[in-house]
Chain A
């Protein structure tokens, strides 16, 4: 996956670029920077959710996103929340649910689960597309320390097992080390990668 960004304009103001970032399967990168600097915008561009930018996005890696909130389909049961968006088979989905400690919750609707469980379900969903690179947008931001530690542990396990790469957006300077990710700082105006 490679992004060469000349600039990204938002609300009449250049907020990002010029910058280039290349991430391969197995590589882990953390995008750091204060709130509002444009980390999430950059992630949305990489994920293909924002196409209104000047630059070039290339590569044919399979990407999967873990959003800041779980973003589940409230009207579909937990298992269907993996199979429907990703198109994976039921056995794979069950296996992933077991890996994130959600065995037995397959038939529950999201609102019947705790927030921590919903986040683990979102993590399992992302791995169901067998991504080459996982994109995470502050997925541990609003969690208490214990739950965050558990989520980070699970993410690490799944990354190791699947060999996927990672682009991790965070403002927590401690997180990159815990995920063994190379920290890249985003700063300046318009924001560029400071290495």
Chain B
């Protein structure tokens, strides 16, 4: 269980991981060279130059910032609603029986349909964009939290009742810590799903954000530009995963370790 302190490059898998990235880069160079059509298949250094340009001009930060704002807003909305629904459905058999059919349908409605309908019914605005993304994510969070809630320990429930803990204390100290692994899993799975849907939402009906930029570059058939924006934003999302979500998850799981 316990891990001795190591440098990141000493962890197993780092060397193969880096080599695999390098292999993909070489493959890309080879394909670009063979296709001999820089417009359709630009080589990596051309895309890198483009990334440099959008970083230096500040364009990346503006549009990535807007996209991140939408990701964050819909993420928080989806997590909160999904947590409440999942807890309710996990705790109450009646609620589960009534809400489950709707949940199954919601899980299977294509993201695109939700986005289009949200834009039509709510309007081409920020509210519609964030709602559409959240609606796509809520059913997934609900299912994951419901499973976690069903696995809550009955003995701790008894203990909380025997000591007459307040509902808020119970939620904070008994229920949420047990759900933490499920919440973390839902958050990790959620953030990667959400940012992909946010790009579609922006593509279809926003005038800023990474999705909007990709829309513009797509119209002018600028493949290097599309790749530059995509790769730059992937890097931003990976950084968030690495420096925000993972440390948070590690902190939430501190009590599982044997020694401190």
- Given the known A-B contacts A75-B255, A111-B258, A112-B260, are A69 and B165 also in contact in the complex, defined by CB atoms under 8 Å? no
Contact A85 B160 (CB under 8 A): yes
Which listed residue, B161, B162, B177, B258, touches A73 by the CB 8 Å rule? B177
List the A side residues contacting B159 at CB < 8 Å.
65, 67, 71, 85
CB distance from B167 to the nearest CB of A (A): 14
List A residues 69-111 near B (Cβ within 8 Å). 69, 71, 73-76, 84-86, 107-109, 111
Whether the Cβ atoms of B155 and A73 lie closer than 8 Å is no
Instruction: Give bound CA distance, A74 to B160, whole Å.
Output: 14
- Given A85-B165, A109-B260, A75 and B177 contact (CB-CB distance below 8 Å): yes
Distance of B256 from chain A, by nearest CB (Å): 8
Residues of chain B within 8 A (CB-CB) of A73 are 156, 173-174, 177
Query: Nearest CB to that of A63 among chain B residues?
Result: B162
Q: Tell me the interface secondary structure of chain A in the complex.
A: loop
A48 within 8 A of B: yes
Is A112 within 8 A of B259, CB to CB?
yes
**Chain B residues within an 8 Å CB radius of A109:** 255, 260
Cβ-based interface call for B36 (8 A): no
Interface size classification for chain B:
10 to 19
> Residue of A at shortest CB range from B178?
A75
Does A37 count as interface, using CB distance less than 8 angstroms?
A: no
Decide yes or no whether B59 CB sits under 8 A from chain A.
Answer: no
Chain A hits for B180, CB < 8 A = 75
User: How far is the CB of A127 from the nearest CB of chain B, in Å?
Assistant: 12
A84 pairs with B155, CB closer than 8 A: no
Shortest Cβ distance from residue B75 to the other chain A in the assembled complex, whole angstroms: 24
Residues of B within 8 A of A (CB): 155-156, 158-163, 165, 169, 173-174, 177, 180, 255-256, 258-260
Q: List 6 A-B contacts (CB under 8 A).
A: A44-B158, A47-B162, A63-B162, A73-B174, A73-B177, A84-B169
Known contacts A73-B174, A109-B260; 6 additional CB pairs below 8 A are A64-B163, A65-B159, A75-B177, A76-B177, A85-B159, A111-B255
Please name the 6 residue pairs, one residue from A and one from B, whose CB atoms are nearest each other, closest first: A85-B163, A75-B177, A75-B255, A65-B162, A71-B159, A109-B255
Residues of A within 8 A of B (CB): 44, 47-49, 63-65, 67, 69, 71, 73-76, 84-86, 107-109, 111-112, 125, 129
